[in-house]
Amino acid sequence: MTQKKKEIGLAIVGCGTIGRIRAMLAHDYPAVGWLGLCDVKEDLGQKLAKDAQADFFTTDFNELLKRPEVNAVVIATDENFHVDPTLAAIEQGHDLFIEKPLATDAKESLKVLTAIEESGVDAVIGYTNRFRRRFLAIKQRLISGQIGEVTSVVTRAFMNRMVPIATTRRTDQRKNLTPMVVSGTHSLDMSMWLMEGKSPVSVYAQSIDTALAKYGTKDSTFGIFTMDDGTIFSMNISWALPVVWPGAVYGLEIGIVGTEGVIDVEDTHRDLVLASETPQGAGYKPEGYEPGFQRHVDFLTSYPPGDMHIGQLWGPMREETNTWFARVCLGLDSPHATAAEGHSNLILTMAMDLSAARGERIDLPVDLNEFYR
């Protein structure tokens, strides 16, 4: 990217948990000279506007995105509602930060990607794990060839079921709100990023829905990808762990085997345990969601955005957001996922679901029409 300097006029569409985090970080960032917010829930948005000292609030994203002050946009709505505000922002030519995924529908995702590429806007996707020190260190070791040629990757994600319960309760459009599409995409993105340059040619997966079927989603999906050079990649996720599970959200393990070495990642947060007679509350608590159970044990640092101290968020989401601000105002390169990577991640997660539904191997790349048959 070329060097440039500009004051950021920031629009944030979606004032929920993540929109609030991004807005509060924007309030503290010197290059953000104007902040506008949008949410269909006026009380939620007005509260954030007050807390972040925003310059403007509306319930109409088109009104916000057409404001002359705006030149950069964060899309932080629920997963099913990214497409329309994203396309509107592209039409205005704004730099974009889009919370994953681009869409929850394959053809809509391609439509968004095509619009981004044809317009030339700079668009990145929110994959916060890329900004954690441990994964940046691993990425650099792989770039420098420390373990030779990667031949095998094993990835396992465990998640508290508060996430799928809270996610599915917000909508009746649940067909693609699966463990892979909504959450497994984070660990898949990490694995594909660490295997950069390798392309998957097939996947075989299986799923089970014993515990979460009543919420309209699956418990777990396990799959094996074969890459174009013969590398095998096992991608497994369960987001059906009980509400009282000490992990606030995400626990991840990755094993990367190369011809000359191995990298073994234990990112389950079990090295920092808090046990107390005082209830710890919900690890993941979107507005209006009450888990109905008390948690007395917590794996500290297992909430992906980071942790609060002196009224501020510290951790990877702060790094991710502020790095994007620097990308917008200074033109600096960054580790953010591209729109093309975001679309690819969606298609790969949906291909896993398709394989599990059909009980057969799916060859990649897959014809998008297969998702509608």
Quote the pTM value: 0.93
| Whether residue 310 has pLDDT greater than 60 | yes
- pLDDT tens, residue by residue, 20-41: 999 999 999 999 999 999 999 9
Q: What is the pLDDT of residue 130?
A: 97
Q: Are residues 153 and 90 in the same domain?
A: no
Name the percent of the chain lying above pLDDT 70: 95
Please report, as a single letter, which amino acid is at residue 190. M
Angle at 204 between CA 203 and CA 205, to 5 degrees: 120
| Whether residue 260 has pLDDT greater than 90 | yes
Residue 296 lies in a domain: yes
- CA gap 294, 281 in Å, rounded: 6
Q: Are residues 191 and 95 in the same domain?
A: no
pLDDT band at 287 (very low <50, low <70, confident <90, very high): low
CATH number of the domain residue 186 falls in:
3.30.360.10
Q: Are residues 110 and 207 in the same domain?
A: no
Average pLDDT, the chain: 93
| Whether residue 351 has pLDDT greater than 60 | yes
Token reading at 227: 């890459």
Q: Are residues 109 and 156 in the same domain?
A: no
Q: Are residues 97 and 144 in the same domain?
A: no
Q: Are residues 191 and 263 in the same domain?
A: yes
Residue ranges making up the domain that contains 12: 8-126+317-335
What region does 226 belong to: left with phi over 0, alpha with psi -120 to 50, or beta?
Answer: beta
Name the percent of the chain lying above pLDDT 90: 84
| Whether residue 148 has pLDDT greater than 90 | yes
| Max CA distance (Å), the chain | 57
Alpha carbons within 13 angstroms on the beta-carbon side of residue 371 total: 21
Q: Are residues 146 and 113 in the same domain?
A: no
3-state secondary structure the chain: CCCCCCCEEEEEECCCHHHHHHHHHHHHCCCEEEEEEECCCHHHHHHHHHHCCCCEEECCHHHHHCCCCCCEEEECCCHHHCHHHHHHHHHHCCEEEEECCCCCCHHHHHHHHHHHHHHCCCEEEECHHHHCHHHHHHHHHHHCCCCCCEEEEEEEEEEECHHHHHHHCCCCCCCCCCHHHHHHHHHHHHHHHHCCCCCEEEEEEEEECCCCHHHCCCCEEEEEEEECCCCEEEEEEEEEECCCCCECCEEEEEEEEECCCEEEEEECCCCCEEECCCCCCCCCCCCCCCCCCCCCEEECCCCCCCEEECCEEECHHHHHHHHHHHHHHHCCCCCCEEHHHHHHHHHHHHHHHHHHHHCCCEECCCCHHHHHC
Q: Are residues 116 and 193 in the same domain?
A: no
- CA gap 91, 176 in Å, rounded: 27
Q: Are 75 and 65 in contact (CB under 8 A)?
A: no
Q: Are residues 173 and 281 in the same domain?
A: yes
Which of 130 and 182 is assigned the larger pLDDT? 130
CATH number of the domain residue 121 falls in:
3.40.50.720
Number of domains in the chain: 2
| Whether residue 271 has pLDDT greater than 60 | yes
| Whether residue 294 has pLDDT greater than 80 | yes
Q: Are residues 201 and 327 in the same domain?
A: no
Residue 373 lies in a domain: no
